[in-house]
Chains A and B, each alone.
Chain A
Amino acid sequence: MFPYDTADWSVVDGPMYMLANTSLPGIFTAIAAVLCVCVWVLVVGNRSEHQ
């Protein structure tokens, strides 16, 4: 998942996080947001409020 064509740090001149310059970091953020808001707050959290 190295975000550059060559697995060599000498070619890195910008973002170096996993899958930089692809859509996957945004998908990770979307997954995290959905988990937090929809699953844990609205479902699990709401359920625990009623216990």
Chain B
Amino acid sequence: MGISGAAYASAIAFGRGESAQYMGPNIADQSSGVFFGAFAMFAATTASIMSGAVIERIQTVGFVILAIVLGSFAWIVAAAWGWHADGWLVTQRGVHDFGAAGLVHAVAGFFALGVLMHLGPRIGKFNADGTANHIAGHNMPLTVTGLMLIIVGFWGFLMACVIVPGEAWSWFADKQSTIYGTPITLSALAFNILMAIAGGIIGSWIWTKDPFWMMSGALAGIISVASGLDIYFSALAFIIATSAGMILKPAAIWLESRGINDAVGTVTVHGTIGLYGVIMLGVFGSGYPALTIANAPVITLYGQIIGAVVFFLLGFVPGWVSVL
């Protein structure tokens, strides 16, 4: 389609030009605008993921620069390699990450880790002997409400990853598909997301009994199955999400014990669980064709691990280098 950001923005502003037809009501093109908007949101999402990790100790200008590096470079490269039918991770390794557990969440999460390693902890977080203090949020109801809003947003986030049928650029004339061109149903998305939320909440409840971690567990649950939302069976999605919820807080505590002050658990929820989800799909989804072409590469555990390593590096290295 070849819509550039500048052309698209100008078309929206002035209502003329090639791209204007994608934004306004147009019976011949129902969803190009949705797809464009969704990807703009993904870019913004990467920065919002990082923001939670670095709060209370970063200057606005510094944060904006990091957001540009992350939102316009790091995750874009990951998406080009692993979220496109021509990406080398897909064509050569059969990597499958439908809901961007690795290429959005893990990239942003480990980008934040790279930043945090330079940024250091908030004042008062760690004692002289290295033990950590708990710095509670100011308002738990508002915090939980915010987390619930993110959960609601996930439905739109993930549904917007679906390519609708019948458009000039659709894979199929009569059925929805993923970005890879593999078939998907809205029912699968609806129920797997729901089961992931339930599993994540229950899993994190086991260890924490804490509403903050339980709502974070819901996010972790969704992220842990996002890679395979198109092919998981709902009960399996629930079990994987539950396991993600259970490892959430122990993983966050381990990170804290290494002297990293991740204020809201960003690195764990998005980074660690994102990679966990990518690898879990390799465990359960091996053998699925990653593309619709004949003799397509298939999903394998080895390929998913390769993808996880690449996503980790694409997040961590730019984050660590950007703050030098």
The CA-CA distance from A9 to B293 in the complex, in Å, is 8
Smallest CB separation, A30 vs chain B (Å): 8
Given A7-B296, A8-B296, A36-B202, answer yes or no on A18-B289 (Cβ-Cβ < 8 Å).
no
Cross-chain contact A18 with B294 (CB below 8 angstroms): no
**A44: which B residues are within 8 A, CB to CB?**
206
Which of B199, B236, B288, B292 contacts A2, CB < 8 Å?
Answer: B288
Kindly state the separation between the CA atoms of A19 and B206 in the bound complex, as whole angstroms.
29
Smallest CB gap from A41: residue in B: B202
- Is B272's CB within 8 Å of the partner chain A? no
B318 beta carbon closer than 8 Å to chain A = no
Q: Is the CB of B288 within 8 A of A28?
A: no
Chain A residues whose C-beta falls within 8 Å of the C-beta of B202 in the assembled complex: 36, 40
Neighbour of B236 across the interface among A28, A36, A48, CB < 8 A: A28
Residues of A within 8 A of B292 (CB): 9-10
Q: For the complex, is B239 an interface residue (Cβ under 8 Å from A)?
A: yes
- Whether B188 sits at the interface, judged by CB under 8 Å, is yes
Q: A1-B284, A1-B287, A16-B183 are in contact. Are A32 and B238 (CB under 8 A)?
A: yes
Q: Which residues of A contact B231 (CB under 8 A)?
A: 16-18
Asked if A25 and B287 make an inter-chain contact with CB atoms under 8 angstroms apart, the answer reads: no
Given contacts A9-B182, A9-B183, contact A18 B298 (CB under 8 A): no
- Tell me, in angstroms, the Cα distance from A32 to B202 when the chains sit together: 11
B242 and A18 within 8 A (CB): no
List which A2-30 residues lie within 8 A (CB) of chain B: 2, 7-10, 12, 16-20, 25, 28-29
Which residue of chain B has its CB nearest to the CB of A35? B242
CA distance A16 to B231 in the complex (A): 6
- Contacting pair A32 B239 (CB below 8 A): yes
A12 to B286, CA, bound (A): 16
* Among candidates B183, B235, B238, B298, residue contacting A7 with C-beta atoms closer than 8 Å: B298
Query: B88: CB under 8 A from chain A?
Result: no
Are the C-beta atoms of A2 and B289 separated by less than 8 Å? yes
* Among candidates B236, B238, B284, B289, residue contacting A9 with C-beta atoms closer than 8 Å: B289
Choice from B182, B188, B287 contacting A17 with Cβ under 8 Å:
B188
Asked if B232 is at the interface (CB within 8 A of a chain A CB), the reply is yes
Chain A residues with CB under 8 A of B118: none
B296 contacts across to A, CB distance below 8 A? 7-9
Q: Does B254 contact A (CB under 8 A)?
A: no
Q: Report the minimal beta-carbon distance from A7 to chain B, rounded to whole angstroms.
A: 5
- CB of A28 within 8 A of CB of B182, answer no
Complex CA distance for A28 and B70, rounded to whole angstroms:
38
* Interface set, chain B 194-233, CB cutoff 8 A to A: 199, 202, 205-206, 209, 231-233
- A17 with B183: CB separation less than 8 A: no
13 contacts between A and B (CB under 8 A): A2-B288, A7-B287, A9-B183, A9-B296, A12-B183, A17-B232, A18-B231, A19-B233, A20-B233, A25-B236, A32-B235, A40-B206, A48-B209
The interface of chain A, by Cβ under 8 A from chain B, is: 1-2, 7-10, 12, 16-20, 25, 28-29, 31-32, 35-36, 40, 44, 48
5 additional A-B residue pairs with CB within 8 Å, beyond A10-B294, A18-B233, A32-B199: A1-B285, A9-B289, A17-B233, A18-B236, A32-B242
Partner-A contacts on B (CB < 8 A): 182-183, 188, 199, 202, 205-206, 209, 231-233, 235-236, 238-239, 242, 284-289, 292, 294, 296, 298
**Smallest CB-CB A-B distances: 7 pairs:** A28-B235, A29-B235, A2-B287, A17-B233, A25-B233, A28-B236, A32-B235
